[in-house]
Amino acid sequence: MATGNPAMSEAVYRRVGHVGFSTDAMTVQGTVLKTAILVMILLATGAFSWAQAVGEATTLAYGLLIAGSIGGFIVALVTIFNPKISPFTSPIYAALEGLVLGAISAVFEAAYPGIVIQALGLSIGVLAVMLFLYGTGIIRATEKFKIGVIAATGAICLVYLVSFVVSLFGSHIPYIHDSGPVGIGFSLVVVVIAALNLILDFDFIEQGVKQQAPKYMEWYGGFSLLVTLIWMYLEILRLLAKLRGNNRN
C-alpha cells in the first residue's frame, strides 16, 4: 500500500502500466481539475439531500442516505478493482457520497447549529495546509512516514470495526464515542491521521505523473483523493460535535 487509503495502492500503477507519449499521460493539473469536478458533483447532490433532511427528516432523506451508502461502497470497490472505468464511476461515486454527506450534515446541523460550515472551513483549511507542507517539502512521504501512517490508519479501522461488531450485540466501546476528554482526544487523533493521509495521497498522484500513467488515472486520482477528503470531513464533524457536547455538559 502506498497510503492508508485503500484506493491508492502502488499496485494500481503496475496494473495500468504507462503510456508512450506524454500527451496521453496523467498530469497534476488534470488531476486537480478532475478532483474539482467531483467535488462540485458531491456538493450538488449533497445540497439536494440536505434539503430533504433539513428540519424533519423525511422517508426520502433516509432512503437517499441508505442508497448513497450502499451504492457508494459498491461503486468504490468497482473503481478500485477496475481503474480504467474511473472516468464513469468516479462521478457516480461523488454523487452517491454527496447524498450521504448531505443527510448526515443536516442531522448534525439540527443538533449543533453552525457546525457544518465550521467543518467545511476546517476541512478546506487542513487541505490547504497539508498541500503547502507537501509542496514545500516540509513533510515528505518517506517509507518510514508511510509505514507509520498506514499502521495508524489500520489501527483506527480496526477500532471502528470492533465498535461496529459489538454494537450489533447492544454494547459499545467505552469513552471513544463520548464527548469527554478521551472521546475528544480520540477524534483529534483520527483527524490528524486523516490529514496525514493527504500527504500520502499527494505523493501517490505525483508518482503516477512521474510514471506517465494513462490519462484516465486523473479521474482515479481525483476519486482516491475524494475518499480521504470525505473521511476527514466526517471526522472533523464528529470532533466538533464532541466539543459542542462537552461544552454543554
User: pLDDT > 90: what percent of the chain?
Assistant: 61
Among candidate residues 119, 145, 146, the one with its CA nearest the CA of residue 5:
146
Query: At 183, is the pLDDT very low, low, confident or very high (cuts 50, 70, 90)?
Result: confident
Mutual angle of helices 86-111 and 28-53, in 10-degree steps:
40
Q: What is the pLDDT of residue 1?
A: 37
Q: For residue range 132-168, list pLDDT tens digits in order.
A: 999 998 988 888 998 999 899 999 989 888 888 888 7
Q: Does pLDDT of 6 surpass 60?
A: no
Q: What pLDDT is recorded for position 18?
A: 61
| 8 pLDDT above the threshold of 90 | no
Share of the chain above pLDDT 70, in %: 88
Whole-number pLDDT of residue 194:
94
Average pLDDT over residues 42-51: 93
Check residue 211 and give its pLDDT: 86
What cell numbers appear for 87 in the block? 472516468
Query: Would you place residue 244 in the very low, low, confident or very high pLDDT band (cuts 50, 70, 90)?
Result: confident
How much is the pLDDT for 7?
Answer: 58
Contact present, 86 and 223 (Cβ < 8 Å)? yes
Q: Is the model's pLDDT at 213 over the cut of 80?
A: yes
Q: Which H or E element spans position 33?
A: helix 28-53
More confident residue, 116 or 244: 116
Say which residue the cell 477500532 belongs to.
159
| Contacts with 244 (C-beta within 8 Å, 6 or more apart), sequence order | 112, 115, 179
**What is the band of 182 on the pLDDT scale with cuts at 50, 70, 90?**
confident
Assess whether pLDDT exceeds 90 at residue 172.
Answer: no
pLDDT above 70 (res 209): yes
Cα–Cα distance for residue pair 232/216, rounded to 1 Å: 25
Higher pLDDT pick, 46 / 23: 46
Q: Which residues pair with 25 in a beta bridge?
A: 214
For the chain, give the mean pLDDT: 87
At 162 the pLDDT is 87
- Higher pLDDT: 52 or 117? It is 117
pLDDT computed for residue 99 by the predictor: 94
237: how many CB neighbours lie within 10 A of its CB? 26
What mean pLDDT do residues 101-129 have?
93
